[in-house]
Structure 1
Amino acid sequence: MSALGGVVRSGVGRRRVQTVVIGLVVMIAVTAAVLGGSLMVAAEAPFDRAFAQQHGAHLTAQFDAARTTAAQLAASATAAGVTEAAGPFPITTITPAEERGPVRPITVVGRADAGGPVDAVTVTEGRWVTGPGEIVLHGDIRLPPSLQPGVGDVLSLPDLPGGPALTVVGVARSVSETAGGWVVPEQVAALTAPGATAGYQMLYRLDASGTAAQVDAGRAAVQASVPAEALTGARSWLTTRTNSAGNTVLFVPFLIAFGVLGVLMAVLIIGNVIAGAVSTGTHRIGVLKALGFTPRQVVRAYTVQALVPAVVGALLGVVAGNLLVLPVLAQTNAVYGTSDSGVTPSVNVLVLVGALAVVAVTAWAAASRAGRLRTVEVLAVGRTPGPGRGQWAARLAARLPLPRPVTLGLAQPFARVLRSATVVAAIAFGAAAATFAVGLGASLNEVRATEKHGDVVIFPGRPMSAPPPEGGPPVEGSPRVASGPPPAPDPVAVVEAITAQAGTAGYSGVAQTEVTAAGLTSAVEALAFTGDGAASSYEMISGSWFRQPGEIVVARPFLTATGTRVGDSIVLTDHGRQIPVRIVGEVFNPESRGMQVLTAVATLAAAQPDLRAVEYFVTLTPGTDPAAYVQALNTALSSVEATAEVVEQEAEEVLIVINTLTTLLTLMLVTVAALGVLNMVVLETRERVHDLGVHKALGMTPRQTITMVVASVVVTGLIGGAVGAPVGVLMQRLTLGEMGRVTGFELPASVVDVYTPVTLALFGLGGLGIAVLGALLPAGWAARTRTATALRTE
């Protein structure tokens, strides 16, 4: 072994604590960088990647079976501009029913298999259909809470001859959203109502589809290749991409914020650890130079000495990052509709090379500075700070009415101001990450809470029950089969039961219909309210809640789409009847992507909303037991064909993913910050080990030693927390602002202002917690060091 190799081996083995710290810091930093980088790649244009992976349809077309044939449609695959086609698939529309009444119509396509050259449907649960009586539902289909798409559910179709039922055998995802459900082709005829027009669906991929004009040109070519008036409707993939952006765009600013934070923190901590490791070897460098080592050899030795544990840590970090990204990306795949494996070679290589480059450059710079010193100067400097460094702080701390071990510790950070500043920055990053993560989670939960419009919901119909087997009692867990739509309950009787029930704070009845608005090409939902509780269940951005017929309240996306603002008038149209209204307020309403109209029932009296779909939301007085309230209310509603249930919200996939990522990344960043503190305290303790021996010789007990070492990080911890907490708040506001911008919403104050003075103070003290956590291990080492050993160390 060469002399240089011996120096490297000796340095790595002798300074085990620093070697382990370097390896751990690099490993965690690389893990965070790989995780964040892989997810940032996954969040980049998720719809486009899912569209490419599933060979999505640029054009989804529907044809009248009475005006064309399957053979003619198959021949349209050769139309100008068409590169691939799938179909024709028979298509129909079904309207399942349940105890509450009919749900929204579902477009069902007859398709023998999930694959194909266009729109390769991904089965996410269960299996594909194999015969009649089975259906695979699209994962994003909107059904009532009591009938969520799940394997084993049964959809009843009482409006069809014989009242057939379809068993859900699978849940799938189509990035092109070509259907709400799929059955075998021979099933479609039995699902088509008598007198209804049969249809076919064709799926096309075009050679040019980047703009609306190009897709329209492809549609025109397809239309020209089939009989006149055979094409009854078509949808562009550009429309689907726009509609799908609501969930996926939330991840981009979130991941960018955490990614930038992780990268900056990794660079800072790695640089601080490596620079500290080299600086503590200054005396040893003088010895090496005295033995004949050249400055270049010294620099090379200490650079390699830092790279050895860094390489091991970086490799372990790449492995850990890829292992962590797999379960997280499994959730993001479910949200995005992608099929990413999680392993991104380019990210792995970039992070690995970048981390080692930071280590090499930092170690080279620190060792070069020591290598340029003259041998006598290096030997004279030793490891302890030069005389006079931090003396003013020591004198000032000595005047404080505190125990002497505490004042000695409080003055230590000022002896190495630059090193202390880097540790303050590391603690600030950790505190900022915790503040940002908790605030973002609270804000997203507030967004979720805005979708809850009451504590109890009342809907038409009686509670569901499973069919009894062979005349026996209902079996718990059996598939629920609906018996058809119930009669509409008497609204007067429902309101009387609500208002007479003890614990009622307010209520609102909601009837739903669809209207068109001037400036919009498609219909939007209109919610017509009665009662006194609707205004309190929505967050107002500007203006006021509607007070009389002819006034409406809408969200920012509606204002943007129609080019209007609060105070403007607009005309709504329902079945050819025009309804002039005035926009009196902007509300935060993320439902239906903000394209809802909220108004009084009297405004839409001519719209005749489906009375069977009317629901009542009840707000309870504080302290009221929801379960007992519902039980008593159902007794009062038993004679009016209505049922009350407690409103329960299920966690959305997007929130689950974001909360998982915030928790994971925050723990990693806080751990890295604590390791940075540990490294600093280890360096300070080793540099002052002789002073420590003097203190012990003068009577300092182990407990006082621990107190002194812990006190040495109090100042840096408090400053880091005081800086990090406001930075975390700023990051939360910037991220929420970007989320609001990309989704088109103006976020209310209740969503943005989630911090209180008490919570901010706790986050500020969190920096002190990070500092103390990192100092405990070296403090214990200092307390166990024997006095004679410390005095012999120079």
Structure 2
Amino acid sequence: MRAALRWAHADLRSHRGEALFIVLATAGIVISLLLATTLFEYATNPWQRVFTQSQGPHVWIRTGPSADADRLAGLDGVTSVAGPYPTAATTLASRGTRASVELRGTVDRPTTGRPLLASGRWLDPGTPDGVVLESGLARVLWVQPGDTLNVPGTARTLIVLGTADSAEPRYNPGERPGLVWALPSAVRHTDGRGGQVTGLRLTDPDDTDYAVQRAVTLLGAKAITDVSSWQQARSEAQGGNRLLGQVLGLFGLAALLAAALAVHGAISTRVRGHLRDISVLKAIGFTPGQVVRIFLLQHVAFALLGAVLAAALTQAWGSRAPGRLGDAVGVWQGLPGHTAALLGVPAAVVLFIAATTGLAAWRAGQVPPVPGLRAAAPLGGRLSGLARGALGLRLPSALVLGWHKAFARRPRSLTAVARLALPLLLIVVAMSACTTIDRFHSKPDQVGLATALTVRADRSLSDPDVRALLDGGDQVAGVYPGVEVAALVPGQTGTIALRGLGTHENPYPFAPVEGRTPSGPDEAVAGQGLLDLLDVRVGDWVRMTVGARPQVLHIVGRNIEPENGGRTISASLDTLRENDPKLATALYQLRLRPGADPHQVAAELTKTTQGHLSAHVVPNPADGLSPLRGVAVALIAVLALIGLIELLTAIGGTLREGERDLPALRAIGLTPRQITAITVTATGCTALAAVVVGTALGVPLAHWLIDAQGRSSGTGAGIAQGPSPVFLLLFGAAAVLGAAALAVLPAARAARRRFADTLSMVG
């Protein structure tokens, strides 16, 4: 045991840097996997908790005020019903902030779809103007129990009695109204668009399509105005958290594989360099199992130290991380499965590294006690014809011999290049993810965000008046009237968003990534989510129902649709009016001039029109992915550490294989500087080959992964943006020069080694 510990200690002293990198890389991998687990739990658990505790309906059906919604309770598969509740659409204002809301009339909190009070108290018939706001809406309006809300355009005020959590889709400015519970009398006294909403809790939660189809058959297509399911609400509640978790998990697993391969390569190279020492250990009585355990326990200890460090840092400091990551860790630490994940993830990482280490260490156990004679041929092998031709052209011998040494042993050289290319490939993928996020901010018109503001007007302003107010803005480059309605899909199993934007004279600047822009009658562009939902492609015709009117459109292009899960089809406003001449403009999309601040323009419009116009900034999906930048930087740092381990292994292997060639190189007159240049060139050539392979494979892989994520989310393929060629060239040059610089010092020491020392190592 004492001899084994002395051997391990001596080996650690000679490879301190490699040991440190293994510990840090393992810590980074475990942290990324723990954060991925955290984000998955954070994305699903809060909504699931609210949905379960509130007995949330699996489908919400909105109907007109005259529909007999009570009949929905008799549908097959319906176990309980929430409502029907009377509703009214209106606008509420507080502290200069406005929000479109849906007032829902109720008195008692029902069993199904029961709002969970977060603060304050429930509705009281003694306070007829009292309301309870959904918690997210209350945060947007900056109100709490006891505050007063104004109804713009009227002298009416509402008193906030409390806030509550709900599992329904949350408020989205300009897209979805917020939820406000009020007494039925307060809803009837509101001058807004009226209707009803009914929630159905089903025996089979996945049977929402059938339930909606039965509801349409029972009430008629004209009666149903909108449908939303629990799957949509869960997906929206998860938002970018699940995507962040997927990114962290994917990179964490890939980095774990790269680290395991790096450790495997390091041990294999070390075994080749210590064949004589291992033979001596066996000659003095070490068994093959003991030799294997020396390498195995040493590297498992490194991995265990990194895993424990990562778990401790995540537990102690994870909740203090800025933004969404800190919130996610704080919630995760209070969940029942927190302890199991905190112990299980590091243990799994250590076991995986141990398994990989064991495979490499097994070779050390097979070394015979009496080492065989080494081949008399030079380790580098005979010079190839290309190398001899290069020397004949009087190219520097150090460069030619260095290139020859890097690729003389093809299986071993290809393995070294492949192991080093893997972390470089992952770094290219991480940089591509950051570049794609930057594209949403720098070139929003290319990713379905041609306009920056959505403006809605109250009933006191006509369309010409609104156009006059908007066209007069100095920072407004284009105004596109529009309307957005809910339409029943073929089969009447759900609703999609049907948008009419722009006119034939002033077309909306769609940017289709497939097909073309709609220009003729009945032509439209659709999102990937709608194409998947209806199982159609560009070039097909689709039929949908808006109220009692059928709408038939020809899909001529696929547009990137970040909103509504891509379940959106867009045509010009004139196209929709051809089928329904009474269709009135409901909103205006504003394209701003370069450099204009959307938030400032929105505030100025609301102020100058004295509240008659309500402007909202079009949400950018990249805003929710801002933590991904910091995550990408951390992952790149971890991958860089793994790359350093691979470089150290490659440099060590090159030096050991060149030990026997050192006397011959000196004998032919090469100086220590030239011998150093051979090793540096060999390392640089290996790094260059790895950079070429990593970049060549990383760029298309990043495009495929990002576009696959876009397709699965409904946004659609075509959003991927890789780093510029100049940036990739600089990245490759930095990697090659860094590798060469890292090899200079150990190569110089080896070149100045005494002749007697070299003979003792070769013997």
Please state which band the TM-score falls in when normalised by the shorter chain. 0.7 to 0.9
Cα displacement (A) at 1:283? 1.9
Q: Does 1:514 align with 2:485?
A: yes
**Which residue, 151, 155, 177 being the options, matches 1:157?**
151
Q: Does 1:527 align with 2:500?
A: yes
- Partners of 2:255 and 2:29 lie apart in 1 by 6
The C-alpha deviation readout for 1:659-705, integer Å capped at 9, x for no partner, is 34333223211221122102331344366568669979999888767
Cα displacement (A) at 1:48? 7.5
Given residue 344 of structure 2, which amino acid in structure 1 is its aligned partner?
S
- Partners of 1:441 and 1:403 lie apart in 2 by 41
Contact 2:269 2:653 in 1 (8 A): yes
Q: TM-score, normalised by structure 2?
A: 0.73
Corresponding residue for residue 589 of structure 1: 561
Counterparts of 1:91-110 in structure 2 under 5 Å?
93=88, 95-97=90-92, 104-107=100-103
Counterparts of 1:174-323 in structure 2 under 5 Å?
174-177=166-169, 190=186, 193=189, 209=205, 211-212=207-208, 237-238=230-231, 240-241=233-234, 250=243, 254=247, 257-319=250-312
- Partners of 2:226 and 2:364 lie apart in 1 by 72
Count of matched residue pairs: 711
Contact 1:717 1:771 in 2 (8 A): yes
Distance change in 2, residues 1:155/1:436 (3 Å):
farther
Cα displacement (A) at 1:446? 3.9
Q: Does 1:600 align with 2:602?
A: no
Corresponding residue for residue 71 of structure 1: none
**Which residue, 509, 521, 525 being the options, matches 1:536?**
509
- Partners of 1:517 and 1:217 lie apart in 2 by 10
- Partners of 2:421 and 2:302 lie apart in 1 by 26
Counterparts of 1:548-587 in structure 2 under 5 Å?
549-562=521-534, 564-570=536-542, 574=546, 576-578=548-550, 581-587=553-559
- Partners of 1:197 and 1:626 lie apart in 2 by 34
Mean CA deviation greater in 420-429 or 267-276:
420-429
Distance change in 2, residues 1:680/1:509 (3 Å):
same
Contact 1:101 1:485 in 2 (8 A): no
The C-alpha deviation readout for 1:317-355, integer Å capped at 9, x for no partner, is 554576787678973697999857676133222212221
Corresponding residue for residue 695 of structure 2: 725
- Partners of 2:689 and 2:697 lie apart in 1 by 13
Contact 1:278 1:367 in 2 (8 A): yes
CA-atom RMSD in angstroms: 5.7
**Which residue, 344, 348, 351 being the options, matches 1:350?**
348
Counterparts of 1:750-789 in structure 2 under 5 Å?
751-752=719-720, 754=722, 757-758=725-726, 761-762=729-730, 765=732, 769-774=734-739, 776-777=741-742, 779-783=744-748, 787=752
**Which residue, 442, 445, 453 being the options, matches 2:435?**
442
SS at structure 1 position matched to 2:378: coil
- Partners of 1:598 and 1:63 lie apart in 2 by 22
Contact 2:50 2:165 in 1 (8 A): no
The C-alpha deviation readout for 1:700-738, integer Å capped at 9, x for no partner, is 888767644432211111111111112212322331342
**Which residue, 649, 670, 678 being the options, matches 1:679?**
649
Corresponding residue for residue 229 of structure 1: none
Corresponding residue for residue 15 of structure 2: 18
- Partners of 1:627 and 1:334 lie apart in 2 by 29
Cα displacement (A) at 1:17? 4.0
Distance change in 2, residues 1:490/1:673 (3 Å):
same
Contact 2:540 2:554 in 1 (8 A): yes
Could you tell me the percent identity over the aligned residues? 19
Counterparts of 1:350-369 in structure 2 under 5 Å?
350-363=348-361, 365-369=362-366
Contact 2:405 2:682 in 1 (8 A): yes
**Which residue, 715, 736, 739 being the options, matches 2:709?**
739
- Partners of 2:495 and 2:659 lie apart in 1 by 76
Cα displacement (A) at 1:492? 6.3
Given residue 588 of structure 1, which amino acid in structure 2 is its aligned partner?
I
Contact 1:8 1:305 in 2 (8 A): no
Corresponding residue for residue 613 of structure 1: 587
- Partners of 1:583 and 1:199 lie apart in 2 by 32
Contact 1:28 1:668 in 2 (8 A): yes
Mean CA deviation greater in 667-676 or 704-713:
704-713
Cα displacement (A) at 1:265? 0.9
Q: Does 1:425 align with 2:399?
A: no
Given residue 421 of structure 1, which amino acid in structure 2 is its aligned partner?
L
Given residue 591 of structure 2, which amino acid in structure 1 is its aligned partner?
F
Contact 1:456 1:645 in 2 (8 A): no
Distance change in 2, residues 1:239/1:397 (3 Å):
same
- Partners of 2:202 and 2:467 lie apart in 1 by 56
SS at structure 1 position matched to 2:15: helix
Distance change in 2, residues 1:688/1:540 (3 Å):
closer
Contact 2:455 2:589 in 1 (8 A): yes
Distance change in 2, residues 1:544/1:241 (3 Å):
same
Cα displacement (A) at 1:778? 5.0
SS at structure 1 position matched to 2:366: helix
Distance change in 2, residues 1:346/1:570 (3 Å):
same
- Partners of 1:38 and 1:302 lie apart in 2 by 30
Contact 1:37 1:347 in 2 (8 A): yes
Contact 1:89 1:109 in 2 (8 A): no
The C-alpha deviation readout for 1:588-646, integer Å capped at 9, x for no partner, is 3333333334233333334655556334435x4xxx66479x99xx99x9899998999
Given residue 152 of structure 2, which amino acid in structure 1 is its aligned partner?
P
Contact 1:627 1:646 in 2 (8 A): no
Counterparts of 1:622-701 in structure 2 under 5 Å?
626=596, 652=622, 654-685=624-655, 688=658
Corresponding residue for residue 490 of structure 1: 465
Given residue 779 of structure 1, which amino acid in structure 2 is its aligned partner?
V
Given residue 95 of structure 1, which amino acid in structure 2 is its aligned partner?
T
The C-alpha deviation readout for 1:2-60, integer Å capped at 9, x for no partner, is xx432333332354242541352254146315523762685499547841576253526
Cα displacement (A) at 1:414? 3.9
SS at structure 2 position matched to 1:598: strand
Cα displacement (A) at 1:269? 0.5
Q: Does 1:713 align with 2:713?
A: no
Corresponding residue for residue 389 of structure 1: 380
Counterparts of 1:93-132 in structure 2 under 5 Å?
93=88, 95-97=90-92, 104-107=100-103
Contact 1:89 1:111 in 2 (8 A): no
Q: TM-score, normalised by structure 1?
A: 0.71
Distance change in 2, residues 1:511/1:544 (3 Å):
closer
